[in-house]
Amino acid sequence: MGKNMFLLTLVLAGIVSASQAQGNSNHLSGQTSLYLKRAVSQPVDWYPWGGGAFQRAKQLNRPILLDVGAVWCPWCSLMDRDTYTNTATADYINQHFVSVKVDFDVAPELVAQLQRAQAVLNLPAGLPLTSFITPDGKLYFGAGYLPVDRKAGKPSFREAAEEALRRFADKDTIEEESFPLETTK
């Protein structure tokens, strides 16, 4: 009986810690935007746009993954549901990027700047807007909707992220083929 009680206690402790881990919020708690509130419980360690994210990226020497979307955008909802709530994808993102989420409707000046940068670099500029930015604020790669798995010729999120990491490692090319953004530092 004592052995069974011990096993039951271990199982319950595992369930409680797993549910607590899934319930951990990222850096978006306290944000007022509906789009950002919707992402608080996602397993991606999201930051709001601002100096904290850029400082963290510099500390870790990692690129920033920037997701711009809106609550009314069906492709944004699909990417949130299928890509950013996928645990394996979120783990990969958290290991390789500092992630920033922006609400299209709340930051029109930033969105216009990002869309202009992506257009200059001949990258998709619609919603969702997925951008990869250096810690010092240079947009160097981007995409639109990225599914978890390759679909209908569209690369998977992981394929695009690996390309972004490859390009991030080539500092000379970033200097030549990037667009400096006005960032909050």
Span 133-183, pLDDT tens digits: 999 999 999 999 999 999 888 899 999 999 999 999 999 999 999 999 987
- Using only C-alpha atoms, what is the Rg of the chain? 18
Three-class secondary structure assignment of 117-164: HHHHCCCCCCCCEEEEECCCCEEEEEECCCCCCCECCECCHHHHHHHH
According to the model, what pLDDT value does residue 10 have? 36
Tokens of 157: 């999120």
Tokens of 178: 């990037």
6 vs 37: CA distance, rounded Å: 39
Per the DSSP assignment, residues forming a β-bridge with 48 are 101
With pLDDT > 70 as the criterion, what percentage of the chain qualifies?
Answer: 86
According to the model, what pLDDT value does residue 152 have? 87
36 vs 105: CA distance, rounded Å: 11
User: Which range (15-19, 41-45, 134-138, 149-153) has the least confidence?
Assistant: 15-19
Per-chain mean pLDDT for the chain: 88
Look at residue 22 and tell me whether its pLDDT is greater than 80: no
Look at residue 73 and tell me whether its pLDDT is greater than 90: yes
Domains of the chain, earliest start first: 25-180 (3.40.30.10)
**Cβ partners under 8 Å of residue 77, min gap 6:** 71
46 vs 34: CA distance, rounded Å: 14
Span 75-93, pLDDT tens digits: 999 999 999 999 999 999 9
> Residue range 8-35: average pLDDT?
60
Band the pLDDT of 20: cuts 50, 70, 90.
very low
Look at residue 8 and tell me whether its pLDDT is greater than 90: no
What are the DSSP calls for 45-96, one per residue?
-EEESSHHHHHHHHHHT-PEEEEEE-TT-HHHHHHIIIIIT-HHHHHHHHHH
Tokens of 90: 């979120």
Per the DSSP assignment, residues forming a β-bridge with 102 are 68
According to the model, what pLDDT value does residue 24 have? 61
Span 165-179, pLDDT tens digits: 999 999 999 999 999
DSSP 177: S
According to the model, what pLDDT value does residue 144 have? 94
According to the model, what pLDDT value does residue 17 have? 36
